[in-house]
Amino acid sequence: MLETPPEPTKSILLTGAGFTKNFGGFLADDMRSFIVDKIMKHQRLVKLLNSSTLNYEDVYAKVIHGRYSKDDKSALTDAFGYVYKRLDDVIRGVSWESNAPHGVNIYGVKNFLDRFGSTVNGKRGYFFTLNQDLFIERWYGQETLLKIPGNLNLSRMDAFPQRELESNDYLPVPTTNKIDTIRAEDNKKTSSSGRYHYLKLHGSFNWYDGKDPERRIMVIGGQKLEQIENQPILRYYNEKFREVLTQPSRKVCVIGYSFRDKHINDIIREALTRCDLKLFVISPQTHSAFAQQITKDDPKNGPTIRNEAIYWPWELKRIFPAGQTQTVYAEQMNNALFD
């Protein structure tokens, strides 16, 4: 008989690509540019990527699942592997020094992340992400702090965060017959399983299918919910996301997510309308730009999210500037989320 899951902490974190951007990471246009540079010899692919109606994820889905040559598919797959490796090179080079180019006090960010965790038996912190990079694993990856369900933590990465990936850092995801075991382990009400669980809702560039080592477990392009449903560990993560957000009177802090994924927005909207979820959004966009974009991108969920969100138009370097200065932005944010 499965145990009752631990109670989630009141405050939950959800991040998107904009979170890593604060430390030099890539956004969509950056990704597209690196991919184009890598496939210049494949003009058919370049034309697709330069189309005004298709983003790089849509192009990937169109090519991989469409009537394109094996050579085109292989070239695009290799280009995606290349761009994520370049992103990881940037992340490996992140500096904790006060004069770091990104201008963010990374110690302040770490202390902020700590507050989403719990060491109380019977409670668990949750950190969900749509990112497929390794920023958190490299710089906040100790298993005593954070656990990735499915035995997907990177060994020794916390001790050597700047080292290049090795072959054993590419991890097979659990198969269907192991999900019940993972669920039972996650339901244990002990503090030994980490201050919080880190769930990568769209997979990770260092994960692969145990039956097909060439297949990376990354949700890219259209029909994202279908891709998730076809991958047991991601389906479990998605179920956990809904389970946690729909607990009564929770708070979720969103950093760097553009609200363009309908399956994520569906769950947020459900929790806002049925479960008294409080939504806090940190983004450098103006509020008017955010409101306009989300309404356009998701006409069903956008108006509810727009109307319910407490919106903070700040970059992390404004909240946690170099030099460890305590800011009014950090004070307001912490009071709202944790007091």
What's the pLDDT at 160? 87
Listed in sequence order, the residues at least 6 apart from 29 whose beta carbon sits closer than 8 Å to its beta carbon are: none
Residue 3 predicted with pLDDT over 70: no
What's the pLDDT at 194? 67
Every domain of the chain and the residues it spans: 7-23+98-338, 25-93
What's the pLDDT at 2? 53
Residue 72 predicted with pLDDT over 60: yes
Say how far apart CA 303 and CA 298 lie, in whole Å: 8
Kindly indicate the confidence band of residue 75, based on its pLDDT and cuts at 50, 70 and 90.
very high
List pLDDT tens digits, range 169-219: 999 999 999 999 998 888 877 655 667 899 999 999 999 998 887 788 999
Kindly indicate the confidence band of residue 144, based on its pLDDT and cuts at 50, 70 and 90.
low
List pLDDT tens digits, range 242-288: 999 999 999 999 999 999 999 999 999 999 999 999 999 999 999 99
What's the pLDDT at 141? 72
